[in-house]
Structure 1
Amino acid sequence: MRSYELELFADYFQFYIQDDKELNVNLADVWTDEAVANRLAESESIIGVGTARNMDVPVSIHISKSAQVIAEAEFDLINQTTILCESGMLVIAGCTDYFPEAMRIELTPGKYNVQIGYKNLEDISEDKLDGNDSYHIWLSLHI
């Protein structure tokens, strides 16, 4: 399993995971009221992850050959979806990051199962600037 730990600026309470070829796609239309409530906006090759704060947040990414069993009791929320990564390069960035300089992870091109675990969503300050929230993402090739 490959793992990455990073801090992302979650401006507008979100960050993105997307295929490198989809840098010009806008997720504004898929951030519906339901997507905001579920903290997940999705299209075929882009995922918007909603956060509890619009500051730097810790994000861990794990890539494995098979789907992981997530201990539900460890998380406040778990979402599952898929993402198509035709380019073989996945971009992880805050929505206002400069995308040409954003983190990229090389993957085998294809469709991936995505599991997102959200921790400590309520453990944040009143002004939503400080907190212990964290976001954990598992990707595995969809079979």
Structure 2
Amino acid sequence: MVSLDLEIFADYHQLHLIDDGSTSDLGETWTDETSADRLAVADDAIAVGTSVNVTVAVRVEVLDAPPADDFADFDHVVEGSMQVPSGRIVIMGCTDYEPDAARFEVPVGPVRVRVASSNLAEAERLGIDSDDDQQTMERLRVQVWPAPNGERAVLKRWKPLVA
């Protein structure tokens, strides 16, 4: 397993995972349903919704096989598939400068992406102040492994404190 720990500014309440070289427009993938699910999918890109519009802690794990179902440790868990013809995924906030964004290697071809979010109640309670302390930041674990394309799925749903 390869892992990477990052802090990313989740501008407009989202992060992007895109194939290095993608031309997909993730703005067109957001609907009421994908917003509620916190996951919007294009062919070679995924947008992840966040509770806050500030910096979030992100752990990326590249795996050889599907991970164990450890949903009890998280508030919200979603999965989607994307194509990665370059073998590299760029991870960034939606307004970040792509050439400066973090990248990580994955197998070429289709991959499955599981995003598990935690600490959502505390992050939502503090809002723009949630990133002042590691203990109050929204945390996301992004797991990626080779897998055939599959449907977007919500494996565990968070019910926000504020509608």
TM-score, normalisation: structure 2: 0.82
Alpha-carbon deviations, 1:63-90, whole Å to 9, x = none?
A: 1110101311111111011111001111
Structure 2: tracts of 5 or more residues without a match: 131-135, 149-163
Matched length: 142
Shift of 1:26: 1.6
Give the helix-richer structure, 1 or 2: 2
Distance (whole Å) between structure 2 residues aligned to residue 65 and residue 126 of structure 1: 36
Distance (whole Å) between structure 1 residues aligned to residue 106 and residue 124 of structure 2: 37
Alpha-carbon deviations, 1:45-73, whole Å to 9, x = none?
A: 11000011111100000011101013111
2:115 aligned residue = 116
RMSD of Structure 2 on Structure 1 (CA)? 1.3
2:15 aligned residue = 15
- Percent identical among aligned pairs is 33
Shift of 1:107: 2.1
Q: Which runs of 4+ in 1 moved over 6 A?
A: none
Distance (whole Å) between structure 2 residues aligned to residue 87 and residue 11 of structure 1: 26
Alpha-carbon deviations, 1:85-108, whole Å to 9, x = none?
A: 001111000000000111111222
TM-score, normalisation: structure 1: 0.93
Whether 1:34 aligns to 2:33 is: yes
Deviates more, 1:52-61 or 1:125-134: 125-134
Structure 1: tracts of 5 or more residues without a match: none
